[in-house]
Structure 1
Amino acid sequence: MKKIPFKSPFGILLFVILPLVVILAISGIRLDLTKEKRYTLSDNTIKVLESINKPVMVDVYLEGDFPASFKQLQSETKFMLEEFRKINPKIDFKFIDPIKSKISQDTLMAMGMQPSVLPDVKDGKVSQIYLFPYAVVKYKGRGVSIPLVVQQNGIDADQQLTKSIENLEYNLVSNIKNIAVDKRKKIGILVNQDELSPEEFQGFMHLATENYEAGPIIPKNQTELTLADVPILKQMNALVIAKPRKAFTDGEKVILDQYIMNGGKTLWMIDAVNAEMDTLTRSKKVMPFPVDINMTDFFFNYGIRINPALVKDVKKFALLRLVTGEVGGNPQYTSLPWPYFPLGIAEKNDPITKNINPVKFEFPTSIDTLGGRKNIKTKVLFESSERTLLKQVPNYVDLKEIASVDSLGQMEKPSTPKIYAVALEGKFNSAYASRVERKSYPGFKGTSPDNKMIVIADGDVGRNKVIKGQPLPLGVDMLTNEQFGNEQFLRNALDYLLDDSNLMELRNRNIEERLLDRQRITEEKNNWQWFNLLLPLVVIGALGGLFFWLRKKKFG
């Protein structure tokens, strides 16, 4: 038998390339050559997955006959879960076809899934396909449903798919982390300053209890926070203060200051002006006035100031649905622009605000960032448009201002964009480090460890509407039937404050859309079909001819 020379092309193929391919196939090693490293897990994800010590099962309801776009989402999800399983074999998954498994829509909806309804055209007939693009993460008898498709208004199907894939790693690993954690983090809701009622705050409590333990913090003396409340505060990883209307005492401010100095995270939703839509609807005119909760110096210490002046955005605003007539005894409603309900639309690529619907603010004021705090990083989450007006209070707000929204910019001089919400992070210094009040607090600390805080200049951003005693979902406007992004914004805010694994950074991942030119596909379809058909035949013929020529040349 004639030996094959090792250095010949066939020898290199046989002894080098082929074994290398086999080794790579067996080992499962993959090379990620994409620009954005979309197939490479982050270090933070790997740490979370490695920490899982009990079996986790992920059921993915993306199996069956559905459009190509969902096939791509299915493929990306499968790849991601395969990578998870390589890191930790305790994480397993399976894909389920609800139709073949005979799982009813009612059962899926009872599991917290909402169907995606897609048109299906076959033989000239249009029908509807109901899909449930969800994953269910199961751990120790518990389960949580995860939507795999990003719900965001104003984007087309291709953008929705891209954003869903961008969010896939964060979506899966964060939910695995939350369900597999042995001890959930605690959130305290301060109840003492005439904050939102339980009915008005039910939507927020629902989202907070999905991944955390949350409950009210009620002062033991039923009047104000005292040193007796410090032990329960120390158990809270975060504190939420939603629309306080009663002034904080100096003693309470010291307690809150020291809560922050000891590492406690805080989420503030503050109304600096008292203006309620219910009152305005009844009387057609209302006079808002400033609300002083005695926190100006407190926030000044962190480099921000909340101004007692209403923001009117005549470019980015929500609609107000009002009765504008009557036909046959039935009221006629019209949706009209209302500049006192501006919309927060994410302009920057921030993990807290990315890929969410516009956030609806109601009679917000503005935040000034003062600077000069070297250890504090301040980032703006939402701000108004350049066509913004400020209304100083006390002053009348009249429903007639709806009619003149188009001419407001001419009647009054617009100011620069105003800030609605900020996130602060860094090492905070106590406002009482050089004041006599420090002596009233045992174990006083002058500086915090690395900490975070979010301040929103609107107390109603976390308030859900209550109709006839029944709370509506947070962010839902029943009259205009619009879903705003308030719920997702506040969920992201809590995750940002309590994220000790830095998983939130995964929400900043960007995948460049490399979409095919559909017009060119149509025009050149036949050419490429013939090319794909003939090219293999030409290559095989050329290689055969080359092999025959070399053999003839060598053996004559």
Structure 2
Amino acid sequence: MSRDIRSKNIWQLVVLLVAIVVVNMLAGSWFFRMDLTSEKRYSLSENTKDLLVDLEEAIFVKVYLEGDLNVGFSKLSKATYELMNEFRVYGGSNIEFRFIDPAEGTKKEKELVQKEMQELGLSPVPVYEQAEDGRNTTSYFYPYAVVYYNDMQLPLNLLENIKGFSGAENLNKSIESLEFKFTDAIRRVTMDEKPRVAFIEGHGELDDYDVMDITDHLSQYYQVDRGVIGNDPSILDPYKAIIIAKPQSKFSESDKYVIDQYMMNGGRVMWLVDAVNVTLDSLRKARETIGMMADLNIEDQLFKYGVRINPVLIQDIQSAMIPMSVSTGGQPRIVPAPWLYSPLLIPQPDHAISRNMNVVQGEFVSSIDTVNSQLHIKRTVLLRTSRYSKADQVPVFVSLAFVNEKPDQRTFTQSFMPVSVVQEGVFTSVFENRMAPGNISPQPVEIKTQSVPTKMIVVADGDLIRNKVRFKNTNPKILPLGYDELTKQNFGNKDFILNAIHYLCDDAGWMDLRARSYTLRLLDKSKIADQSFFWKMINVLLPLFLVLALGFVVSFYRKYKYMR
């Protein structure tokens, strides 16, 4: 080799080394990532990035999805690991995490892990599967994570369990909601000051016991107050949102004015209103009753805001059960019976509030119409009835004896009636072209007739937010909101109320993370069963064949080249 060629090669090597060093220096100072997936499943939202960058102290996450997992939970574990890595990219040293296998380690170590999870209320999830040889197997997994920050610890359930969805669909929904769950947990543990929300009183609304479960859960995010409105027009100003839960008596004009001006100034309201006066408790005493239209004096106000709650009672074939006493052979016993006036409402999948949620149990529900189409507002239905439902006009006769009658499906012709809507935009005041009530103090100089952009949610069922209360020796026992004692399942009432209040109070767009959607790409199970051996052989033999073929080609080429 000549000296010129040797010098040229040395210079090429030097240039290559310098280029590598320069590229590494640029990569260290100029950060970028590319997500080539169509759904951008590996991209964090800008809100999440800002949250992680602004962390001032370290957050430690323990994830218990590790070990001998099946295919579905392995995907969830992998997605969680990838998300944690993405979090660490933006959070730096303030994000630490560790994956733990609860079944790994010495007996003492496993007992410590089990004890820790029991103290946090985390129970193993049984998974029933069928092996290739037809045997039924049961495995237990821990789809949980715990977020630690200073002296706080917050457990997270990473697994969605939505009624009516397959296991694969629920796991896909779980992966979709990972970013929201972890960012929500980080926001909760790092929150300096909680926003304020309030339950309105003074019109026969649900009392402390009736909403205690949802109040406890809201208290993790907000300062929750209760109180009467009064005559001060600014009394609601400190609150991000207010909740009007099943009023039963008339609103005064001054109360309506305070709520109206609160909305005109950007306040958010959640209305949970019964349009018909009838309760299950009254039925249990009298066995039958007449449902009459409720006069709350807010019909004109809701109409002005673009909503009309119809004075009807909905019956739905898709309904919950109520306990009924049946006597057989002289021995009374309690049996579950379908109660058509307790519909299982279907959450709509196209909104952040109601997406990825179980059905919601209602009780004596009415329907909602949207009116005033000239308003500059966006409306979205959140809850609907099933395909087979109907509405009974008031006055309506209601009797517990209806449980003994077989419903005629042909009469249930009113499908998918709206029961809850969310409205966003600019609203018109109900006091437009009207005087302020005389007892308002101080009297306003001017009534605001157009709102700033704001939000409101209307639910045509006051009991949707109500938890059951059982008294034993005068001591109240509060049941979880949405928990059904007969079927031992949890309906989506609590999730719906929490999501609704989060959405009303959300100015930064955090709830949009719940609207993320990933396409579920499932393998054909019948082909897997019929052709699994063939594809296994392909995976084993094809690489060997390719290596042998490549070796033969290289050997033939060298022989041909050097023989010449």
TM-score bracket, shorter-length normalisation: 0.7 to 0.9
The 10-residue stretch of structure 1 (26-35 or 302-311) with the greater mean CA deviation from structure 2:
26-35
Counterpart secondary structure, 1:259: helix
Q: Tell me, yes or no, if structure 1 residue 92 matches structure 2 residue 93.
A: no
Query: Which amino acid in the other structure matches residue 487 of structure 2?
Result: T
Question: What CA distance in whole angstroms lies between the structure 2 residues aligned with 1:415 and 1:345?
Answer: 14
Q: Tell me by how many angstroms 1:345 deviates.
A: 1.0
Deviation, 1:416, is: 5.4
Deviation, 1:489, is: 0.9
**1:191 equivalenced with 2:201 (yes/no):** yes
CA distance in 2 between partners of 1:94 and 1:245 (Å): 52
Please name the residue that 1:349 is paired with: 350
Looking at structure 2, the residues matched to 215 and 236 of structure 1 have their Cα atoms a distance apart, in angstroms, of 9
Q: Secondary structure at the match of 1:396?
A: strand
The DSSP-based 3-state class of the residue aligned with 2:219 is helix
Q: Quick check: 1:418 aligned with 2:428?
A: no
Q: CA deviation at 1:109?
A: 3.1
Structure 2 counterpart of 1:376, one-letter code: I
- Is 1:215 aligned to residue 225 of structure 2? yes
The match for 2:268 among 259, 265, 270 is 265
Are the equivalent residues in 1 in contact too, given 2:64–2:101 (CA < 8 A)? yes
1:467 corresponds to: 470
Q: For residues 445 and 86 of structure 1, what CA distance do their matches in structure 2 show?
A: 48
**Range that drifts further, 90-99 or 199-208:** 90-99
1:190-221 per-position Cα deviation (integer Å, ceiling 9, x unaligned): 122111121111111122112222121245xx
Q: Which residue of 1 aligns with 2:395?
A: 394
Identity percentage of aligned residues: 34
CA distance in 2, matches of 1:141, 1:551: 69
Q: Secondary structure at the match of 2:179?
A: helix
Report the Cα offset of residue 362 of structure 1: 0.3
Q: Relative to 1, partners in 2 of residues 1:263 and 1:51: Cα closer, same or farther, differing over 3 Å?
A: farther
2:322 aligns with: 320
1:307 matches 2:310: yes
Shift of 1:287: 1.3
What's 2:63 paired with? 60
Secondary structure in 1 matching 2:96: strand
SS at match of 2:62: strand
Pair 1:429-2:421 in alignment: no
Q: Write out per-residue CA displacement over residues 238-279 of structure 1, whole angstroms, 9 at most, x where no aligned residue.
A: 111101112111111111111112222111111111111111
1:484 maps onto 2:485 in alignment:
no
CA distance in 1, matches of 2:268, 2:385: 26
Query: Structure 2 vs 1, CA of residues 253 and 121 (structure 1 numbering), >3 Å: closer, same or farther?
Result: closer
In the alignment, is the contact (CA less than 8 A) between 2:289 and 2:399 conserved in 1? yes
Which residue of structure 1 lines up, in the alignment, with residue 370 of structure 2? Answer: 369
Cα offsets for 1:428-484 (capped at 9, x unmatched):
232224322189335743333221111101110000111123111100121333321
Over 3 Å counting, the alpha-carbon distance change for 1:119 and 1:23 in structure 2 is farther
Change (3 A) 1:445 1:379: same
8 Å CA contact 2:375–2:426 kept in 1: the answer is no
Shift of 1:178: 2.6
Report deviation, 1:393: 2.3
Distance 2:234 2:196 in 1: 15
Matched, 1:503 2:502: no
Aligned AA (1:116): V
With over 3 angstroms needed to count, the CA separation of the structure-2 counterparts of 1:534 and 1:385, relative to structure 1, is closer
Q: Which residue of the partner structure matches residue 222 of structure 1?
A: none
Match in the other structure for 2:126:
117
One-letter identity of the residue aligned with 1:428? F
1:245 matches 2:244? no
Root-mean-square deviation (CA), in Å?
3.3
Q: Is contact 1:189-1:214 (8 Å) kept?
A: yes
Q: Judging changes above 3 Å, is the alpha-carbon distance between structure 1 residues 288 and 106 closer, same or farther for their aligned structure 2 residues? A: farther
* Residues 1:200 and 2:186 are matched in the alignment: no
**Is the partner of 1:515 in helix, strand or coil?**
coil
Residues 107, 325 of structure 1: alpha-carbon distance in 2 compared, 3 angstrom cutoff = farther
Instruction: Tell me the distance in 1 between the aligned counterparts of 2:95 and 2:81.
Output: 13
Distance in 2 between residues matched to 1:35 and 1:373, nearest whole Å:
37
- Deviation track 1:159-181 (CA, whole Å, cap 9, x = no partner) reads 11111111111121222223222
Find the aligned partners of 1:471 and 1:532 in 2 and give their Cα distance: 57
Q: 1:523 to 1:40 in 2, by over 3 A?
A: same
- Contact 1:433 1:446 (C-alpha < 8 Å) held by counterparts: yes
Q: Structure 2: 5+ residue runs without aligned partners?
A: none
For 1:383 and 1:56, locate their aligned partners in 2 and report how far apart those are by CA, in whole Å. 40
Greater displacement, 437-446 / 474-483: 437-446
CA distance in 2, matches of 1:109, 1:307: 47
Identify if the C-alpha distance between structure 1 residues 380 and 360 changes in structure 2 by more than 3 Å, giving closer, same or farther: same
Q: CA deviation at 1:386?
A: 4.4
- Say if 1:415 and 1:177 are closer, same or farther in 2 by CA, change over 3 A: same
- Distance in 2 between the 1:23 and 1:281 partners? 76
Q: Relative to structure 1, is the Cα distance of residues 109 and 373 closer, same or farther in structure 2, using a 3 angstrom cutoff?
A: farther
Residue identity matched to 1:319: M
SS of match in other structure, 1:47: helix
Please list the CA deviations of residues 350-379 of structure 1 after superposition, one character each: whole Å capped at 9, or x if unmatched.
221122111011001121101424311111
Alignment of 1:370-385 (within 5 A): 370-385=371-386
Q: Please say if residues 303 and 372 of structure 2, whose CA atoms lie closer than 8 Å, have aligned partners that are also in contact.
A: no
| Whole-angstrom distance in 2 between the partners of 1:58 and 1:207 | 22
Alpha-carbon distance in structure 1 between the residues aligned to 2:521 and 2:20: 34
Does the aligned pair in 2 maintain the 1:303–1:373 contact within 8 Å? no
Give the equivalent residue in structure 1 for 2:231: 226
SS in 2 for 1:441: coil
Give the AA of the match of 1:420.
Answer: V
Distance 1:125 1:375 in 2: 60
Is 1:159 the counterpart of 2:160? The answer is no
Whichever residue aligns with residue 107 of structure 1, its letter is: E
Q: Which moved more, 1:120-129 or 1:347-356?
A: 120-129
Q: Is the 8 A contact 2:348 2:381 kept in 1?
A: no
Q: Distance in 1 between matches of 2:138 and 2:388?
A: 43
Between the aligned partners of 2:262 and 2:66, the Cα distance in structure 1 is 49
1:106 Cα deviation from its structure 2 partner: 4.7
Going from structure 1 to structure 2, the CA distance change for 1:136 and 1:444 (only over 3 Å counts) comes to farther
Query: Offset of 1:127 from its aligned partner?
Result: 7.7
- C-alpha distance in structure 1 between counterparts of 2:393 and 2:526, whole Å: 55
- How many residues are treated as equivalent by the alignment? 537
Residue 160 of structure 1 aligns with an amino acid whose one-letter code is N
Deviates more, 1:429-438 or 1:367-376: 429-438
Give, in angstroms, the shift of residue 29 of structure 1.
6.7
Query: Secondary structure at 2:244's aligned position in 1?
Result: strand
Letter in 1 for 2:501: L
In 1, Cα distance between equivalents of 2:449 and 2:179: 39
| SS, match of residue 437 in structure 1 | coil
Equivalent-residue separation in structure 1 for 2:135 and 2:539 (angstroms):
32
Tell me if 1:148 matches 2:158.
yes
* Mapped contact 1:322–1:336 kept (Cα < 8 A): yes
Secondary structure of 1:434 counterpart: coil
What corresponds to 2:546 in structure 1?
Answer: 539
Counterparts of 1:132 and 1:348, CA distance in 2 = 27
Partner Cα separation in structure 2 for residue 346 and residue 125 of structure 1 = 36
What secondary structure sits across from 1:93 in the alignment? strand
Q: 8 Å contact 1:48–1:501 — kept in the other structure?
A: no
Check conservation: 2:293, 2:395, Cα contact below 8 A. Answer: yes
**Residues 290, 409 of structure 1: alpha-carbon distance in 2 compared, 3 angstrom cutoff:** same
Alpha carbons 2:431, 2:447 under 8 Å: kept: no
Segments of 5+ residues of structure 1 without an aligned counterpart are 220-224
C-alpha distance after superposition, 1:135-172 (max 9, x if no partner)? 11222322211110002122222111111111111121
Q: How far is the alpha carbon of 1:302 from its aligned partner?
A: 0.9
- Find the aligned partners of 1:213 and 1:358 in 2 and give their Cα distance: 28
